[in-house]
Structure 1
């Protein structure tokens, strides 16, 4: 059970990062991808991954919230990080027209620049899309046959958007959002439509704590050790055997990110 999205650089983990990794191992999580969302956090994620060789890897990228920070220096930093063994994907990159911390034009420029870098380096892409699917699809489609692989992380879209992502060859990352009895029901209905070899699961910790865990954790902070719960629930909703799904997810993760 590989967790493809862990924000281990978050200040919420400042006091116990090593224990968080240890709890994940003890829970049966077989590996983790640490998310980089700007130049500094991408460097921090790579450094954290280096502490756990063969168990943690990282991404290097500029989240759309930080697109206004894009510069030649930023691009050079990502390129340098991508040369390390720990960095296995470019991103988190994409579009977020929900909160608009960066202007749309800045987001689109940084997104395209990172797609260009990923294609040049022949690396997969860790994608973000929120309330921006039409423009996201328009910018990404020309790159569909140039990328070595990509996953749309924390997918929460509708059926039409899911079908469009699958048509572009994307893998689909599902989080504990699907365990939310308020917001996750529509996504839950889409789970059987995702081909087994295109599905990935993630916690997006420390965010999106699964709301249906019993007993409920005392802290609202999510952790990668809760990934087995998400896997169990997704297996139930897809009507699949837990062990079969877990093995498929492991295979999918290692194939996309070219891990041993």
Structure 2
């Protein structure tokens, strides 16, 4: 039997408020054995940690401030994240990084917030869950300053170019892939990226309720939810990886699960 780990879900999102137990059970029924809730602000990270505590050994959480929320960063933020990271179910620093696509927070504030979280990851020696959109050059330049001391790091929901993927891998970062890889109209280039990236350097995620894979059958959408992505759909992300790489689904499941267990120490 294949086992999967979803390294990024947004289970505190309001779309899940009414049926969290069902969503977790749907995932378990689909052989998604463990899921990691993404923390996007101090408040959201606290909520994610509380929720993960209710499903021991199944749900885990990250603690961090997303670049969109960098404007909420204040003098108490790092201390609060540090406290969360002492909890055993909180396994990673993030989601943190830079987003120059939407600029929901000023760029200089994003950079200050990101650097503070890089320093926190070095201090607590927990891996990093990273976000980069339309900010590759600046993101890499900041990250490289800390690389010699940094613990492991994954650039989640990777949709960048092949050259960007190569640069991240050359710098020792892992890449996380979502259902975006099955969107051959918007992200056709990701087939070439996936063919290049070694299986040992990737993990898979749904980013639920976002990034609904295009290859989820309609019957399953009707059974669960018409438009909402769920962690139960992770095998369809794995299936696209297997298809693009010309390897078995079993191999993708086995290696990405092994990667996630080692990365997050779960």
TM-score (norm 1): 0.98
Summarize the alignment of residues 1-260 of structure 1 with structure 2, pairs less than 5 Å apart. 1-215=4-218, 217-218=221-222, 219-259=226-266
Cα deviation, 1:134-168, whole Å, max 9, x if unaligned, reads 00000001222211200000000001111111111
Cα deviation, 1:112-150, whole Å, max 9, x if unaligned, reads 000000001111000000000000000001222211200
Q: Which runs of 5+ in 2 are unaligned?
A: none
Cα deviation, residue 5, structure 1: 0.5
* SS of 2:130 mapped into structure 1: strand
Cα deviation, residue 9, structure 1: 0.6
Partners of 1:215 and 1:13 in 2: how far apart? 20
Cα deviation, 1:67-98, whole Å, max 9, x if unaligned, reads 01111211111000000001000000000001
Q: Which runs of 5+ in 1 are unaligned?
A: none
CA RMSD of aligned residues (A): 0.9
The alignment covers a number of residue pairs equal to 259
Cα deviation, residue 215, structure 1: 2.3
Large movers: runs of 4+ above 4 Å: none
Partners of 1:127 and 1:67 in 2: how far apart? 14
